[in-house]
Amino acid sequence: MTDQSVPKARTPADGNAPRSPRTPEGVSRRALLGTAGATGLVLGTAGAAAGYAAAPAQATPLTSLGADRAMFHGKHQPGITEGLQARGHLIAFDLTAKAGRKEAAALLRRWSQTAERLMAGEPVAHGDTDVARDAGPSSLTVTFGFGRSFFTRTGLEKQRPDALAPLPEFSSDRLDKARSNGDLWVQIGADDALVAFHALRAIQKDAGSAARVRWQMNGFNRSPGATARPMTARNLMGQIDGTRNPKPDASDFDRRIFVPGSGQPAWMANGSYAVVRRIRMLLDDWEQLSVAEQENVIGRRKSDGAPLSGGTETTAMDLEKTDKAGDLVVPVNAHARVTRPDQNGGAAMLRRPFSYHDGIASDGVPDAGLLFICWQADPLRGFVPVQRKLDRGDALSQFVRHEASGLFAVPGGAAKGEYVGQRLLEG
C-alpha cells in the first residue's frame, strides 16, 4: 500500500456513432490513468464488479472501453505507463532443450507480430480462435521480458545486464521455485476478459516447440467506470491504494523508470526492469482487525485514503505530528511511512499490479492477494532498498506472504519493422 498511482487518464473514442468492432482507426491512444491507482509495494488495486443476466444484452455500438487502443511500436514497450487494465495474465516460459538463440529470435518475431495485430483489434495471422471476434482492442497490451537464465540458454552471457543479478532473500519470502523466474516473461493486460484470454492463447500457441510454459497467473483490477467518479482504486484489503506513484510528468520520471538511451548494455536502451512477485494476503487475519487497527497498520484512513495526520488523499503526510499523548499519529512502522521514497534514500518504482483470487486453499482460507509488478531503471536502486526496509519493520508484513518472484529485463519498444529484443538477438 505504498502511496503510489499511475497518473494516466483514459482517452475514450467518440462512442456516439456505431463502430466496427475490428476498426481501430481514429481511436485515441489510451493515456496515463490518473485515477486508476497503481499499488503500493505489497498491496494492489482490486475490486472488480461482476454480474450476469438471464439473456444476452441487445447489440449496441462499441463503447469507448472496447475502442481504446494502445500502440505496439514506440520508444518503450506497451504495458508500462498505460493505466491499469481490468484483466491481466502473467506467463513465463523456458526455452526447450533444442532451442537456442536462433529459435528465440524466431519466437520473439512471431510474438511481436501477433501482439501488434491483437493490440490493433485484428485477428492473428493464422488459426485465430475467434474468441475476441466481437470486441475492439479493449486497451490490450502485450509486454515481453528476459530472465537471467535466458542469456545462458542463448549463449548471450556477455550481454546480460548487471541489473539482472539475483534478488536477495527477504524475511517474508516463502518462494515456490516452480512459480518463480523463467527464461522469458510475458505480461498481458486488457479491459475485457475475452480479449485478454485471446491474447494469452495466441502467445502460448506461438511458442510452438521453442518454449514451454513454466508458470502462469491470472489477475484483475477494478473495471473502468465501476465508480460514480474517477478515483484511486481499492485493494483486496479494502484500502484505497495508489496515491503516490511516480508521475510521468515529473522531471525525474524517465530517469527512475527507464534505462537511458545511452545506457548499457546498448540493447536495453529505453527499456526497464520488472520485478514480479506473487504476494498472498492473509485476509482472514486482516479482517479480524478493527478499522482503526487497520488504519494504523497502513498509516491512512480506510474511508478516503487520507493520511492519519489529516487532510485529503493527496495531502502530504506529516510524519512528525503527534496526538495528545505525544505518540506519533502515523505509527513508526506504518506501511505508508516505511515505503516513502524520502524514507528510503529516494528509491522509487512504478507499481502496476493485478490482484488475484485463486479460490479457497486447502487450509480453508482464500488464496488471494497481489500479482505485484514494479518497474524501475535499476532494481538495486528501486525495489531492493524498499523491500529491505520493509523487512526491518513494516506493520503490514504479518498480513502478507511472498510466494513467487521473478526479475526480468524488458527491452525498449520495437520500431516499425522490428521485433522486441531484435537488437539483442541479432546484434
Residue 253 backbone phi and psi in degrees, to 5: -60, -55
Cis peptide before 18 (omega within 30 of 0): no
DSSP collapsed to 3 states, 345-399: CCCCCEECCEEEEEEECCCCCEEEEEEEEEEECCCCCCHHHHHHHHHHHCCCHHH
Catalytic site residue from 68, 192, 241, 394: 241
Contacts of 95 (CB under 8 A, 6+ apart): 103, 104, 150, 153, 154, 183, 184, 210, 211
Indicate the pairing of strand 350-351 with strand 184-190: unpaired
Contacts of 103 (CB under 8 A, 6+ apart): 95, 210
Distance CA 211, CA 186 (A): 12
Q: Are 13 and 21 in contact (CB under 8 A)?
A: no
**Cα 179 vs. chain centroid, distance in angstroms?**
17
Q: Are 14 and 55 in contact (CB under 8 A)?
A: no
Please give the span between the terminal C-alpha atoms of the chain, in angstroms, as a whole number.
Answer: 41
Assigned C-alpha cell, 7? 497518473
Distance CA 81, CA 101 (A): 30
In angstroms, the Cα distances linking 1 to 90, 94, 186, 297, 366 are: 21, 32, 25, 10, 20
In angstroms, the Cα distances linking 368 to 4, 84, 346 are: 21, 19, 31
241 is catalytic: yes
Q: Are 78 and 142 in contact (CB under 8 A)?
A: yes
Distance CA 219, CA 1 (A): 17
Which residues does the annotation mark as catalytic? 241
